[in-house]
Amino acid sequence: MTTSMEKIVSLCKRKGFIFQNSEIYGGQNGFWDYGPLGTELKRNVRQAWYQDMVTRHNELVAPAGAPKKFSMVGVETSLIMHPQVWKCSGHYDLFHDMMVDCRTCKARFRADHISTSQCPQKPSKHPGEHDACALTDPREFNLMFKTIVGALSGEEGTAYLRPETAQGMFVNFKNVVDSSRVKIPFGIAQIGKSFRNEITPRNFTFRSREFEQMEMEFFCHPSQSREWYTYWRDRRYAWYTDLGISGDNLILRDHTPEELAHYSVGTADVEYAFPFLEPGEYGELEGVAHRGDFDLRSHMEGKLVKDGDQLVVESNDEGKPLYRGSGKDLTYFDDQTRERFLPHVIEPAAGADRATLAFICEAYSEDEQPNDKGQMQSRVYLRLHPRLAPIKVAVLPLIKKNGMPETAAGIYQALKEAGIACVYDQQAAIGRRYRRQDEIGTPFCITVDGDTASDNCATLRDRDSLEQVRIPVAELVDDVRRRLHA
């Protein structure tokens, strides 16, 4: 791991952002827990996504760059679905990685990660390079976690923890159309846990076995699907830059024709230069895919395969569908044009944990600032966007007497009542308290000092510019609210 990644992992643990799961028992590889600050940060990431995709979306006007106006709704679907969902979607047969085992040390590696993995017996070498290594040929390994539903054991009761949230939207397409007033084009959004039995979980939370996705399925007329693909591709890239990720560290990479899924007209990944990668390398934050009518057709007719240029239902040895679809009519009837068609889908699929990690990595900063005695000291601070910062304001009485704690407690109460995430801290010298807040990314500190009693003002300090301004106590809540939304 690089030095900066080590520092970030250490800060995450020290400050209560992210902990190794079940750490007191030695940890469970590929699973992570969010501590008090991490929980707030990740909640803010989710909330920013959901607000920007659903709650703040105005279906009466076309947003800038959109081909036309559209509706957005949310759903929350189960982690476990009917096993036929995964057979028709292709996950049952195709959702695997190639793995290699070492017969000597029993370690397991992803075949395509061998050149970047360490031999457990001799970490300076890659698997297969040490004399004692005895690697098997690559074999398929399905990434879906199996579980048993009810009292039935064996195949009959077998179900899978969902490896993506997307299928919950596809199988509910008809329910949403029938139960709400949405008309095509519209999107169904969902945030929720997904599970993948990754062979080699690694790079902190980047590749985990349990993680959270923020996915949206956008249903549109086939003739307009390319325009919508371009719109979502650009809009999703802009979401990360709007929340503070520098364009130097973020790329939008179009998949080459060889990388495209057989049903896809186009896919682009939003990728970030994570510090655990080599310079010039990027890791996927989000994929934006044009999926055609693949998903709705699969759930109507059965699992599809490519036959020349066409998608056809895959047959078994007897010429019958290998996996039958639901048989339900998932076509859409446009009552304006009187046309019935199977919508095309554009899917922006993001990871909440990867986005959270990228925001932390991007925010991590070090500089030199004078301490209380005017001596230069190194400072670690998180330049988190105010929308994402777990704590928005810290309220600090300069000293614990002369009425300062009481005034500060009143400001704290007013901020709480306004629903602004804040903390109250009267322990230690003021410089140390500022550092504490800088390190967790709090954008503003309010200090009540000796002048407050006479001028009824407090000092508001900005984390990034370190600028300090005097603001009337009565105006603090509105002022902070304005700054948070600036």
97 near ligand GAP (CB under 6 A): no
Nearer to ligand GAP, 28 or 104 (CB): 28
Q: What is the DSSP string of 381-423?
A: EE---TTT-S--EEEEESSS-TTHHHHHHHHHHHHHHTT--EE
295 near ligand GAP (CB under 6 A): no
Q: DSSP letter for 315, please.
A: B
297 near ligand GAP (CB under 6 A): no
Locate all alpha helices (DSSP H) within 57-159, ordered by sequence: 83-89, 91-94
CB atoms within 10 A of CB 121: 15
**Distance of alpha carbon 158 from alpha carbon 146, whole angstroms:** 7
Nearer to ligand GAP, 276 or 412 (CB): 276
Task: Give min distance, CB of 314 to ligand GAP, in A.
Answer: 20
CB atoms within 10 A of CB 387: 18
Q: Which of residues 131-160 bind ligand GAP (CB under 6 A)?
A: none
Task: Give min distance, CB of 261 to ligand GAP, in A.
Answer: 10
The only residue of 71, 200, 208, 298 in contact with ligand GAP, by rule CB under 6 A:
208
191 near ligand GAP (CB under 6 A): no
215 near ligand GAP (CB under 6 A): yes
| Tokens read off for 147 | 């579980």
Task: Give min distance, CB of 289 to ligand GAP, in A.
Answer: 7
**Distance of alpha carbon 258 from alpha carbon 240, whole angstroms:** 27
Q: With contact defined as beta carbons under 8 Å apart, do 203 and 351 qualify?
A: no
Nearest residue to the partner ligand GAP, using Cβ: 351
**Distance of alpha carbon 293 from alpha carbon 297, whole angstroms:** 6
Give residues with Cβ within 8 angstroms of 456, minimum separation 6: 472, 473, 474
Task: Give min distance, CB of 168 to ligand GAP, in A.
Answer: 10
The only residue of 301, 314, 353, 438 in contact with ligand GAP, by rule CB under 6 A:
353
Task: Give min distance, CB of 176 to ligand GAP, in A.
Answer: 17
166 near ligand GAP (CB under 6 A): yes
286 near ligand GAP (CB under 6 A): yes
Task: Give min distance, CB of 280 to ligand GAP, in A.
Answer: 20
266 near ligand GAP (CB under 6 A): no
Q: With contact defined as beta carbons under 8 Å apart, do 121 and 196 qualify?
A: no
Report which of 295, 325, 331, 333 is spatially closest to residue 217, judged by C-alpha positions: 295
What is the size of the binding site for ligand GAP (CB under 6 A)?
19
| Tokens read off for 73 | 């709704």
Crossing angle of helices 352-363 and 36-50, rounded to 10°: 110
Nearer to ligand GAP, 215 or 293 (CB): 215
* Site for ligand GAP, rule CB under 6 A: 164, 166, 196, 198, 207-208, 211, 213, 215, 284-287, 347, 349-351, 353-354
